[in-house]
Chain A
Amino acid sequence: MVKPLRSSVSTDSLDLWGPDDPAFLEALGNAVLPGDENARIPAPQPDAETMSRKRSRDESDELQAEMTSHATLANGLGDTEGDPEIYGASRFGHFGEYMCRKRAKLQIQNANLEASRDVGGKSKILSGLSIYINGWTNPSVQDLRQLIVTHGGVFQPYLDKKSLVTHIITCSLTAAKIKDWKHMKIVRPEWLVDSAAAGTLLPWRNYIFKPGGRVEQSQGADTPQNYLSMDPRLASGYSSRDIEQPLLVGHVPATPVSNTPAVATIEAAFSTSYSPRPLHVTDPGTHEDAARVPGYAAHTSNLLAERVMANPEWRAAHTSVAPDFIEGFYKNSRLHYLSIWKAELKKLVQQAHEEVENGLQESVSAMRDLQATTKDGDNNMERARLVTESPSKRKGKEKALGLKRVIMHCDFDCFFVSVGLLSHPELRGKPVVVCHSQDGTGGTSSTSEIASSSYEARSFGIKNGMSLQQGRRLCPDLRTIPYEFEKYKQLSLRFYTILMRHADDIQAVSVDEALIEVTTSVSRCAIRPSSLAFPNDPAKSLAEQIRSEVRDATGCEVSIGIAENIQLARIATRKAKPAGSFHLKSEDVQEVLAPLDIDDLHGFGHSTRQKAHEKLGATNLGQLAKKSKAALCDALGKSNGETLYNAIRGIDERKLESDKPRRSVSCDINYGIRFENNDQAKAFIYQMAEEVSRRLTAIDMCGRSLTLKIMKRDPSAPAEASKFMGHGICETFNKQTPLSSANSRTTSNPKDIGDHAWKLLNSWGFDPKELRGVGIQIQKLEMTSASNTTDPGQVKLAFQVKSSTTAPDNPEQDDLGIPRIVTDPPSQDDPPQNESHLVDLPSFSQVDRDVFDALPEDVRRELELEYQRRSRSPMPEVRPSPDVRPKIIVKGVNVKRITQQLAPKNRTILSPRKNMLFAKRDGPSHMRVSEAELRKLGIDPDVFAVLPVHLQREQLIMTRHAKSGRLLEERKIIKASGRSPSVPYRKKPPPQAKHPQPPLLKQQGKQPGEKLYFTETGDVLTVIESWVKGFTDYPPNQRDVDYFSKFLVQSVESADTGMEKTIAVMKWWLVLLRRSWDVYERSTEDGGGSSAESIGRTWWKAFREVKAKVDIAARRRFGGSLSLK
């Protein structure tokens, strides 16, 4: 065994390391590798040289090295104690060496451990395994380590090299580790414990660690202290109870509960005895459920189904693609019948109540009618009117004060089977189940679900919800009987009739199950105890009476649990079954409840149980009873926790829900959904919409909200689920949308429903091939009649009918005597298509208090005020106007107003986009900045590149400013020049252009007081021209000249454009002067001469004067003098 191994490995290593390492080869030869259990040959002591050579090598061969050291140490300890290679100091920087030594030391420790326990027959069941333990485990790491070592395994304290480890033991893993280790063998510690107990290595696959629930639960949710602090007595009781739970044949025990001798000392062990309840369904929808279903192969495809699905014809005929699929589905769906009946029953109960309340008396004759109708075979329960017989029950809902409530929970014993046996009496006493698949069909591999099983069948371990296949495996001569839906209905009706006769109040739970309040009947019975079967217990007597009545009427047994509230009554029924009654008295409550588990309580299921287990460490009611209310609320949520807290104490304030209004109508199909394309899916959705619509119409309801539920094949699930045509493991998606018809009223129109549902489905964009289940649910139901009489979303005020006083002239308007409330339609509403919009508040009495209370404070106050106002205002008088219906104009209640009020009030008025301040006009489309510069400024160029330009600029500027104050400094200098006012940063309107103010040439107007102003070059030229022309015969006034020169100098000083103007004016002046006095231009002397000459000279003098002044001004700016050439 060793030889071939050696050679094969050595050839490998030759390639890698070359042939010059005999010590390594020798070590390798001595190595015991995983798998060769019997290869434990006495290995020669590795000398120091071997060890050192090994360590200095790459880590890839450390596996072998490790194994070697272990193997050798396990056999001969002693010598290694002083081995400097292991116990010596490791050199600096040789972490690998350090780790290696550490591992070796630990293995020596392990070997010691083994040796110390080594007496006689050494267990080798774990030999060859190299196990790493992660995190907190139960049993503890120390115990597990001992366990591993004593049974020949290798305990690995570190997981720095995954290749060293064959298995990982853990109780909980973080998400990251789950991901990281997905290719490793991760096992629960029970594997070791059980293996040790069994004395053989059990297959690890049965103990694969499955991350439970959500990831965050594994983080901190598991508080082991809870377990450790618990009373061992309770613990033992707990686990023993679990052991009693029947294990199913053919189902490998996933969670063994017995403690192994090796860990017997560990008190906390009982927590491992927590087992998820086996779930009995044929087609679990989630991985968690699937894991709970015994024998459910979540990852194997149903081959038969795959084969059949491949046949397009079969597909077309049998899957959801088939035109009559929905009808067929419902014809055969037991659950569908149950739900339909339940709806009918509820309605019936409700009607009966109404009649009682109204004091309508109909008595036994009605019962006879009922009997007659049922005998006629007319199964429509609607026709049967259930009426109570005694006026004393008028109290109905009002609790019979002073009397102790008595609730009975009446439940048929395996209803379907019992009914079936009526027509198959020959099967009585045999294991019988009711399911679709009959003896002849389906064969042994039927996945048909067992709906009901007889007690005989149950004794074989058959449970409701199992597949027939599983049932057959448990009991080969299992007999099946078909569903008899019509008969169920008949018998159920009789059952309810009887119950009605005795009950104050009744809650129809399902066809075969009802809760009744019998307080008054019991108290009546108690008056004459002598006549009772159980003189001390009138309630039980009544129960027996009911039982016998039902037995007579239906031929089936009913079990009745009696208690003072619903919860306890349900628990009592468990005790009563089969075929009996049980009165759970308040003094016995604790005793009965204590051993029960959380999910034995009605309303608490698997998930609550799991939560309780995780967070409270207990699922047993006796243990939970010790928890505080706060603790329960913490763990299970407020309402759940409170309910549980009360339930444990036998308190349940719930009332029977006989008149619970229908909340929703739905239609779910998750069997046989196999679409190939969107068209099929669409057609199917519309078919379902029709079905939903039909149901809505049946109960005369319309809906305002639609929820679409979609089950989509889980990516990990096979294309064909284990259950034939079932949905398999699925991802579930829900979406809700307001539902309204085209004219925005509530609707039950199949097209509207279909449109909305299809739109929702489309919005997900699922592959139609992946769809496995579709459900359409309509909520926010309203009576069709109500919604039709008024306009959409509007409620009519419930005024008293006073029409008798005002007989309308028009006989056609007979029914219009009720004053109409006409509202001014909210202005932003669409133009009235109907003649008027009726909007108003319902009368105060009709307001749903819950909704009202939930309204925001201000809205509520507003409504209250409105109601107050109305109550004060007198009843509107019906004006006898013959042609117009009386109207009350009420200010329209605008729904938008309410939404506006809900909107945040401090909304900014200016949206940044509209604000001119931040508007980017036109700039470069990107900033031209080199990457190097950005880096220098500490800006990531990649990030910078994706920024919008204005942000880039801003960022750049800010950073540059921060880096060097230079820009700022220079800006200060500009400020110092006083050219523009300094403006606080960031609070600036867009920059404003500054134009030099041109100086004005003022002139006296024609009217006194009128002033003319000239600034434009052309105007000034005209003025000059008229001036010069006006003074051809007289010399110019010096004042005028001064004035003019002042204007021109100012112009020059104002700006270059002003200088331009001045030059133009001067040039024109020059031209004008040259026209008139050209000859005198050069003569400077002020000779007397002719007047014309002196005038001319004066003009030229004025010109030169002005020119000099202008030149001086210009020189300041440009130097030199102006050229007027």
Chain B
Amino acid sequence: MSEVSLTWNQTVKGITEFIEVAIHTILYVRQIYPADLFVRRKKYDTPVFQSRHPALNEYISGTVKAVADELVLGNVDKVVVVIKDNNQVALERFIFSIQNMIEVESYNKDTSVQDAMSSAKLGQYFRSFLIKLNMIESQLGLLELPSGDEASFAVVLELKDNTAPSASKDKDPPPWVPADLQHTTSGASKEAQLHLLRAVDTGIINISLAVQESEEKLQLGKASDDSANDIKGKGKDKTE
């Protein structure tokens, strides 16, 4: 089962597949869309939720494909699913951090990489990713927005320094547009809180998933917390 280690192409494929599954799951667990829009499926031996909305699915798969195209080139640093509010302010950032460990010659893309992780093992890791993701509410709490606010999401691709998305088809420009600074890692404030969910070291492309709560969200939460905890706070003070 674990004898045959992954090839480069398998790893890329596995990661993009995982990202797609994870995006669906994120949208479900963070309740970006109504829960009944999702259908429960099994992936990586664990229940996952997949959107049933064709347009959404198309958007996600298109995005992931574009991600995959860049991933193959080895330029990707992070893929970030940004949960934002009406004002396009990032509240949570689900960060898939990619680390290319090796470079593989084109003729070796389907050669199994020595000492690398096996595909079955990677699947088990992804299961643990997803379990953690499903449990994310325990860490982040419900995504509470002021009434009338609708959360939305975006996918931000962060490349290595000094690179730009270059995988394009048929002379079309790459399907990416410059991101809002606040949505990006460099735009994350010092106060942003990072929860590392899981990391895996495949030996070929390492990936980790972390959630970052933006300062704005924390402020928002604090504000509501403050208002809600006014009484509590007093109590706290008392104890102190």
Interface residues of A (CB under 8 A from B): 920-924, 950, 953-954, 957, 961, 967, 970-971, 973-975, 977, 979-980, 983, 985-986, 988-996, 1055-1057, 1059-1060, 1063, 1082, 1114-1115, 1117-1123, 1125
Across the interface, do A1121 and B199 meet the contact criterion of CB distance under 8 Å? no
Which residue in chain B gives the minimum CB-CB distance to A1063?
A: B196
**What are the residues of chain B within 8 A of A971 when measuring CB–CB?**
103
> How distant is B195 from chain A, measured CB to nearest CB, in Å?
5
**What are the residues of chain B within 8 A of A974 when measuring CB–CB?**
73-75, 100, 103
Across the interface, do B105 and A985 meet the contact criterion of CB distance under 8 Å? yes
**What are the residues of chain A within 8 A of B163 when measuring CB–CB?**
973
Across the interface, do A980 and B102 meet the contact criterion of CB distance under 8 Å? yes
Across the interface, do B201 and A1055 meet the contact criterion of CB distance under 8 Å? yes
Further contacts, 12 of them, CB under 8 A, given A921-B111, A1119-B189: A922-B7, A922-B112, A973-B163, A988-B108, A990-B113, A990-B114, A991-B105, A991-B114, A1118-B210, A1120-B194, A1122-B194, A1123-B195
Across the interface, do A1120 and B101 meet the contact criterion of CB distance under 8 Å? no
A887 to B107, CA, bound (A): 64
Residue interface mask B102-146, A partner, CB < 8 A = 1: 111111111111111100000000000000000000010000000
A1123 to B210, CA, bound (A): 10
Across the interface, do B190 and A1120 meet the contact criterion of CB distance under 8 Å? yes
Residue interface mask B175-190, A partner, CB < 8 A = 1: 0000000000111111
Contact A1114-B194, Cβ < 8 Å, known A921-B111, A991-B111: yes
**What are the residues of chain B within 8 A of A1056 when measuring CB–CB?**
97, 99, 196, 199, 201, 206-208, 210
Across the interface, do B194 and A957 meet the contact criterion of CB distance under 8 Å? no
Taking CB atoms and an 8 Å cut-off, the chain B residues in 206-227 that contact chain A are 206-208, 210, 212-215
List 28 A-B pairs, Cβ < 8 Å. Answer: A921-B111, A923-B7, A950-B110, A953-B107, A957-B106, A973-B75, A977-B160, A979-B100, A980-B101, A980-B102, A988-B108, A991-B114, A993-B115, A994-B101, A995-B201, A1055-B99, A1055-B199, A1056-B199, A1056-B201, A1056-B210, A1118-B97, A1118-B188, A1118-B210, A1120-B189, A1120-B193, A1122-B194, A1122-B196, A1123-B194
Which residue in chain B gives the minimum CB-CB distance to A970?
A: B73
A973 to B5, CA, bound (A): 27
Instruction: Choose among A923, A993, A1057, A1121 the residue that contacts B190 (Cβ–Cβ < 8 A).
Output: A1121
Sorted nearest first, the 6 A-B pairs with minimum C-beta distance are A993-B203, A1120-B192, A1119-B188, A1056-B208, A1056-B199, A993-B116
Which residue in chain A gives the minimum CB-CB distance to B13?
A: A924
Across the interface, do A1121 and B160 meet the contact criterion of CB distance under 8 Å? no
Across the interface, do B192 and A1121 meet the contact criterion of CB distance under 8 Å? yes
Across the interface, do B102 and A1119 meet the contact criterion of CB distance under 8 Å? no
Flag whether B9 is at the interface (Cβ < 8 A).
Answer: yes
Across the interface, do A1118 and B113 meet the contact criterion of CB distance under 8 Å? no
Across the interface, do B112 and A1060 meet the contact criterion of CB distance under 8 Å? no
Interface residues of B (CB under 8 A from A): 4-5, 7-9, 73-75, 95, 97, 99-117, 139, 160, 163, 166, 185-196, 198-204, 206-208, 210, 212-215, 240
> How distant is A971 from chain B, measured CB to nearest CB, in Å?
7
> By CB atoms of chain A within 10 A, which of B115, B191, B194 has the most?
B194
> By CB atoms of chain A within 10 A, which of B4, B103, B213 has the most?
B103
A922 to B188, CA, bound (A): 42
Across the interface, do B106 and A967 meet the contact criterion of CB distance under 8 Å? yes
Across the interface, do A993 and B106 meet the contact criterion of CB distance under 8 Å? no
> How distant is B72 from chain A, measured CB to nearest CB, in Å?
10
Which residue in chain B gives the minimum CB-CB distance to A1112?
A: B190
**What are the residues of chain A within 8 A of B7 when measuring CB–CB?**
921-923
Instruction: Choose among B109, B111, B200 the residue that contacts A1057 (Cβ–Cβ < 8 A).
Output: B200
Instruction: Choose among A993, A1055, A1121 the residue that contacts B194 (Cβ–Cβ < 8 A).
Output: A1121
Q: How many A-B residue pairs have CB under 8 A?
A: 161
Across the interface, do B185 and A1119 meet the contact criterion of CB distance under 8 Å? yes
**What are the residues of chain B within 8 A of A996 when measuring CB–CB?**
101, 201, 206
A489 to B199, CA, bound (A): 104
Across the interface, do B203 and A995 meet the contact criterion of CB distance under 8 Å? yes
Across the interface, do A1119 and B112 meet the contact criterion of CB distance under 8 Å? no
A1125 to B97, CA, bound (A): 20
Contact A1060-B194, Cβ < 8 Å, known A923-B9, A979-B100: no
> How distant is A729 from chain B, measured CB to nearest CB, in Å?
59
**What are the residues of chain B within 8 A of A1115 when measuring CB–CB?**
190
**What are the residues of chain B within 8 A of A1125 when measuring CB–CB?**
139, 193, 195
Across the interface, do B97 and A979 meet the contact criterion of CB distance under 8 Å? no
A851 to B198, CA, bound (A): 79
Instruction: Choose among A975, A986, A1117 the residue that contacts B103 (Cβ–Cβ < 8 A).
Output: A975
**What are the residues of chain A within 8 A of B196 when measuring CB–CB?**
1056, 1059-1060, 1063, 1122
> By CB atoms of chain B within 10 A, which of A991, A1055, A1122 has the most?
A991
Across the interface, do B188 and A992 meet the contact criterion of CB distance under 8 Å? no
A991 to B100, CA, bound (A): 13
**What are the residues of chain A within 8 A of B104 when measuring CB–CB?**
991
**What are the residues of chain A within 8 A of B191 when measuring CB–CB?**
1120-1121
A1122 to B163, CA, bound (A): 27
Across the interface, do B199 and A1057 meet the contact criterion of CB distance under 8 Å? yes
Across the interface, do B188 and A1120 meet the contact criterion of CB distance under 8 Å? yes
A776 to B114, CA, bound (A): 61
Across the interface, do B110 and A921 meet the contact criterion of CB distance under 8 Å? yes
> How distant is A46 from chain B, measured CB to nearest CB, in Å?
68
A923 to B111, CA, bound (A): 8
Across the interface, do A923 and B5 meet the contact criterion of CB distance under 8 Å? no
A852 to B113, CA, bound (A): 57
Contact A992-B208, Cβ < 8 Å, known A977-B160, A1119-B185, A1121-B193: no
Contact A991-B113, Cβ < 8 Å, known A980-B103, A985-B105, A1118-B97: yes
**What are the residues of chain A within 8 A of B193 when measuring CB–CB?**
1120-1123, 1125
Instruction: Choose among A954, A979, A1057, A1123 the residue that contacts B201 (Cβ–Cβ < 8 A).
Output: A1057
**What are the residues of chain B within 8 A of A1059 when measuring CB–CB?**
196, 199, 208
Across the interface, do B105 and A921 meet the contact criterion of CB distance under 8 Å? no
A979 to B100, CA, bound (A): 8
> How distant is B47 from chain A, measured CB to nearest CB, in Å?
24
> How distant is A158 from chain B, measured CB to nearest CB, in Å?
56
> How distant is B179 from chain A, measured CB to nearest CB, in Å?
13
Across the interface, do A921 and B4 meet the contact criterion of CB distance under 8 Å? yes
A199 to B117, CA, bound (A): 99
**What are the residues of chain B within 8 A of A995 when measuring CB–CB?**
101, 115, 201, 203
**What are the residues of chain A within 8 A of B212 when measuring CB–CB?**
1118-1120
Across the interface, do A953 and B185 meet the contact criterion of CB distance under 8 Å? no
> How distant is B232 from chain A, measured CB to nearest CB, in Å?
16
**What are the residues of chain B within 8 A of A924 when measuring CB–CB?**
110
A1050 to B186, CA, bound (A): 21
**What are the residues of chain B within 8 A of A1082 when measuring CB–CB?**
240
> How distant is B69 from chain A, measured CB to nearest CB, in Å?
12
> How distant is B12 from chain A, measured CB to nearest CB, in Å?
13
Which residue in chain B gives the minimum CB-CB distance to A1122?
A: B194
A923 to B214, CA, bound (A): 42
> How distant is A269 from chain B, measured CB to nearest CB, in Å?
71
Across the interface, do B105 and A988 meet the contact criterion of CB distance under 8 Å? yes
**What are the residues of chain A within 8 A of B107 when measuring CB–CB?**
953-954, 957, 986
> How distant is A821 from chain B, measured CB to nearest CB, in Å?
55
A667 to B205, CA, bound (A): 77
**What are the residues of chain B within 8 A of A1120 when measuring CB–CB?**
188-194, 212, 214-215
**What are the residues of chain B within 8 A of A977 when measuring CB–CB?**
160
Which residue in chain B gives the minimum CB-CB distance to A920?
A: B110
**What are the residues of chain A within 8 A of B109 when measuring CB–CB?**
953
**What are the residues of chain B within 8 A of A922 when measuring CB–CB?**
4, 7, 110, 112
> How distant is A53 from chain B, measured CB to nearest CB, in Å?
60
Contact A979-B195, Cβ < 8 Å, known A957-B106, A993-B202, A1056-B208: no
A957 to B190, CA, bound (A): 45
A1047 to B97, CA, bound (A): 22
Which residue in chain B gives the minimum CB-CB distance to A919?
A: B111
Contact A953-B192, Cβ < 8 Å, known A970-B73, A1118-B97, A1119-B185: no
> How distant is B36 from chain A, measured CB to nearest CB, in Å?
30
Which residue in chain A gives the minimum CB-CB distance to B204?
A: A993
